[in-house]
């Protein structure tokens, strides 16, 4: 039976019970007014001043049922997001029944939602419970530092944001303590976390910094590669080989200059005389 039909049936039962209670209260009141008290002494009431109890009222659960119905009729993606948000915020493992109680998503009753959660890369399913699955399994600042030290070349901060709730605060604390570096990537404008090995303290003099910044690098990559080779270093690129391959394939290694928009010539035949704004440059020349 659909949820809406259950809701309608619940309303009808509520009205029927309310009517029955009203009839019972009316009959009881009429029987007390017609009874003869002289026939037998009435027993003393333990509560002489007690008032008649108010009619029982059933709680109106219509809004909650409608809310549940709207959630379960939502698209599969919306229901999955609702479950993943609960798993992310609480970081606890939930059975399908507990998920239903927490966010009203019937995982057992909707096979598409169940399979979608089971295969989702952000969800871990052990056969009984669902839990949130971060990209890196770290739970606190110490484990975070150990992870960053494993990535000598740096690790993207975006890959650490969902590790645990206060991971960003711990990153800033590690940076303030001088245990890691947070540098921006010029290409993606994303922060990269680098380990700062305490076993290798390096202090660079200001004179050396100025000397490094004053060195002007060649503009051509070929010259840079030659200078690296003269100093016993192997270049990471091979510009000569790349340019030779480009010439064989008919691809120019130099970017083509952008062509300027050609202006109208005085000798051009005007075929769009009804659009004078097109020939403003011609009139001014």
Q: Look-up: residue for tokens 């990269």? A: 192
pLDDT value of position 62: 84
Divide the 285 residues of the chain into consecutive groups of 10 and give the mean pLDDT of each group.
Answer: 70 74 66 50 46 50 86 94 94 94 93 95 94 92 94 90 92 92 70 82 83 84 86 82 74 54 51 54 52
pLDDT value of position 34: 52
pLDDT value of position 57: 47
Strands 123-125 and 155-156: unpaired
pLDDT value of position 150: 92
Numbered ranges of CATH 1.10.10 in the chain: 63-132, 141-195
Q: Is residue 194 classed as helix, strand or coil in its secondary structure? A: strand
> What CATH topology corresponds to 63-132?
Arc Repressor Mutant, subunit A (1.10.10)
Nearest C-alpha neighbor of 131 from the set 105, 98, 167, 170: 98
Number of C-beta neighbours around residue 141 at 10 A: 18
What's the rounded Cα separation, in Å, for the pair 139 and 34? 76
Q: For 141-195, which CATH class?
A: mainly alpha
Q: Look-up: residue for tokens 């029982």? A: 56
């Amino acid at each position: 039976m659909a949820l809406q039909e259950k809701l309608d049936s619940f309303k009808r039962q509520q009205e029927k019970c309310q009517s029955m209670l009203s009839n019972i209260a009316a009959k009881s009141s009429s029987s007390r007014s017609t009874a003869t008290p002289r026939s037998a002494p009435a027993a003393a009431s333990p509560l002489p001043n007690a008032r008649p109890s108010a009619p029982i009222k059933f709680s109106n659960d219509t809004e909650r049922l409608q809310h549940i119905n709207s959630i379960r009729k939502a698209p599969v993606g919306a229901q999955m997001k609702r479950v993943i948000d609960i798993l992310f915020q609480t970081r606890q493992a939930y059975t399908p029944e507990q998920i239903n109680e927490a966010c009203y998503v019937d995982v057992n009753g909707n096979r598409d939602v169940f399979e979608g959660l089971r295969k989702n890369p952000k969800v871990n399913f052990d056969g009984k419970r669902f839990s949130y699955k971060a990209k890196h399994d770290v739970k606190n600042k110490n484990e975070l530092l150990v992870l960053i030290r494993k990535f000598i070349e740096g690790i993207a901060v975006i890959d650490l944001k969902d590790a645990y709730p206060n991971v960003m605060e711990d990153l800033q604390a590690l940076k303030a303590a001088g245990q890691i570096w947070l540098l921006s990537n010029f290409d993606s404008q994303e922060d990269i976390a680098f380990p700062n090995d305490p076993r290798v303290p390096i202090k660079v003099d200001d004179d050396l910094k100025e000397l490094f910044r004053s060195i002007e690098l060649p503009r051509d990559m070929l010259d840079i590669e030659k200078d690296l080779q003269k100093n016993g270093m192997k270049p990471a690129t091979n510009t000569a080989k790349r340019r030779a391959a480009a010439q064989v394939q008919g691809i120019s290694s130099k970017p083509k200059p952008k062509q300027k928009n050609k202006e109208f010539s005085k000798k051009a035949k005007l075929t769009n005389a009804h659009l004078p704004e097109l020939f403003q440059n011609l009139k001014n020349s």
